[in-house]
Structure 1
Amino acid sequence: MTMLLVQGSYQVLNFQPDGDTVAFKPTNPKAFDELDGCPVKLDSKNIVRLRLEAIDALETHYSRTGPAVHQPLEFAHKAAEELLSFLGFTGVRHNGETVTAATPKEAPGFILTQGADKFGRCVALIGAGAPPAADGTQVNVDVALLRTTANHHMLATGLAYPTFYKKFLPELRAEMAAVAQQARTSGLGLWPSDVTTAPDGAVITGLPSLTGDVVILPKLFRRLVDHFNLVEPSLNGFPTFLAGGGDELVIEPAGTPELSLKPLVEIVNGGTAVRMTTSPEDIVFTEG
């Protein structure tokens, strides 16, 4: 698949990077004009927020429907640390989730993108150091190039979940799925603690269960938090809430279409726990 290569530098000071988002300042901000679809949102300093393609790390500050909440911070912070280390940062210090110091102050790199999500975040494969082609050119992204990216690295270390969208080429999805499965089999990173598809499910007794106890797919976490904030702080009615959520998707390899997450989620253990019936790498979402 071809993606636009944009050269620039990663920015961390006074930002809140996590395991799948980081700020980036393009060398040429007009490079994004070549993209179709939702426009990439740049701030007044021409800095854009990147969302890493095909992965999802545990949340450090989710606040779409209420006060900011997080998933278990052990793995959320490990993911953020691993990403910044891959990009070349050392000596990173924080005030809460905000970076207050790092060496260097910015790190050179490049991104490969097809465009932005509905929030204006640039969805990208991201690389450190010198780019493989000229700034602003279309690059054929194959498996070999994919393996050099932070996206691939985060799955290989077991510190992020595979989370795929339909624009991402099946050949590249297959590679990312394989490396995630290998990390799971090897017991790396968060996988020994993951209960997303565990037979007994993730026991949920309220919001503290989500923020401090259970390690689950971040998208499921976000939907649970939204349900708690907008409906009620229990699993009662959660499947009905999902049915109205509009998470259009396809289940692979059969290519079975679904209009929500509801068919993939079940309440177990007498209504005290929730689990997904499909592994994350077998789900392809239509939109983020």
Structure 2
Amino acid sequence: MGPLIWIIDEEWLDYEDEIRVLEQAFPSCAIKKSGYDYRGDLDKFGYLADAIISQIYVKLDAGAISKLEKCKVISVYGGGYDRVDVLSANKRGIAIAFVPGYCTDDIADYVMSCILRANKPIDSYGSALNDRIWGLPAAGKLRHRIQGSRLFIIGLGRIGRTAAAKAKALKMEVSAYDPYVNEEAMDSMGVRKYDSLEEGLGEADYVSVHARLTSETEGMIGIEQLSRMKPDALLINTARGKIVREKDLVEAVTNHIISGAIVDVVAVEPPSFDEPIFHCPGIAVTPHVSYLSVESFKELKTRTAENVVKVLRGEELKDIASV
């Protein structure tokens, strides 16, 4: 009898890529699936799982992890694993695997799309046409051209660096705040380093958040920081919703402290859709899709399953979370 692999997810429509990888490695493996309300299945069969494949929204806390009798790895669909109690898992000899870098270009492309949309809002002229308005009167408030505009990146990891390169290709001026990247490294990318988050915010036309969610970064952008931004600046968040204080962002946009925001992440996911951020004019919310393309989706599913195979075979795996 092969290993029992337990998938906990409610988002994917199929698991063809994962099953192909798992069955090729372990022809006699058993694969079972549960939704986000998995606790009942944990007691029925999940406690015997040799490996878990988990959607990023699934909370695997110390209580759930303590019941796992055979588990060797929890492989998370994504580059983040903030809902898994890594410390508890590690104490039980369970590796936490994740998939960094699979959607770097896709998210950077999303950021560029936000900047282009803000600069040339081609989907917003319907009312002008309905009112038979043409030319300059239809344009509304003019924005400065993208060339020469300033992009400030918070978190200069893989995605932040790729966004910087794409912005440089548009001839934007790029700066960043990242305490873990030195000035020499930023200089080599043509990026200006700010040691102060607030100073960088104050200079930017566009701000893009790419920091990892940690105890240090949670809530790092609130009304005080947003008030440092230019009144016509745009905030873009594709990282984690809790990095930006959602209530403060709504306040800042509502009171015209900043011009608006485009966010692909919110504080609570999946959301109820009743949260104020969904009903604030000036804030465009997309349903956590910035990472998606045909290529990124296939890579994510395949690598997540491959992480399981490597751990169960005792092979070296570099994409392991630690505390």
Q: TM-score range by the shorter chain?
A: under 0.3
TM-score, length of structure 1 as denominator length: 0.27
Structure (1/2) with the larger helix percentage: 2
Structure (1/2) with the larger strand percentage: 1
Higher-Rg member (1/2) = 2
